[in-house]
Chains A and B, each alone.
Chain A
Amino acid sequence: DAKTTQPNSMESNEEEPVHLPCNHSTISGTDYIHWYRQLPSQGPEYVIHGLTSNVNNRMASLAIAEDRKSSTLILHRATLRDAAVYYCILRDETSGSRLTFGEGTQLTVNP
């Protein structure tokens, strides 16, 4: 399975943008890049996903490098409620049933 690498932790200030990086150098052409986040004492929740083009939704934006070996989750204006662990995972059409989460990035948002 293709793996992802994320920093263990990041800090941000409230109302500032946050860029969360993810490296996936062994990504295959059929892998989609998914992001989830886990708030304290809750199950993970879906944030966004993409294949090649940058994606936007109400929660965040996903910027994907041209060679697809890395991606960045962008929170445009961090709030205290965005403090969570953020997971970047790859999902493949052929082996897509086996979904593996890494350690994720613990995001701290300072008031």
Chain B
Amino acid sequence: NAGVTQTPKFRVLKTGQSMTLLCAQDMNHEYMYWYRQDPGMGLRLIHYSVGEGTTAKGEVPDGYNVSRLKKQNFLLGLESAAPSQTSVYFCASTPVRGSTGELFFGEGSRLTVL
């Protein structure tokens, strides 16, 4: 049972380069989330999705785009990476529409922008 899988786990980019982080879940969850976590800080919500084909902005969406073309995948894109986007990125999913669903997190993707 894979759960929530993030790829890649590590990546180094130069300023201005683009990349895509992939989050895949095999639990048929409806909701998926992308968070970023800077050193010594809590998690901040970037974007989220409440179902296939839908996305919405979180607290810190600027500089990121997302897509949810398939229910099991949630992609986070950086079109032109900046050093301020150096962070650890976590994907999460949850199975239920309501308030009782447990969030399942991936192991994180560590991104460094030089």
Contacts and interface: CB of A to CB of B under 8 A. Distances in A.
A42 B103 contact: no
Interface in A43-84: 43-46, 49, 51
A92 B99 contact: yes
Nearest to A6: B42
Main secondary structure of the interface of A (DSSP, over half): loop
Main secondary structure of the interface of B (DSSP, over half): loop
Contact of A30 (B31, B99, B104): B99
Nearest to B6: A43
Contact of A43 (B42, B102, B106): B106
B99 A91 contact: yes
Contacts of B74: none
B43 A44 contact: yes
B35 A101 contact: yes
Interface string A9-45: 0000000000000000000001110101000011111
A96 interface: yes
B105 A87 contact: no
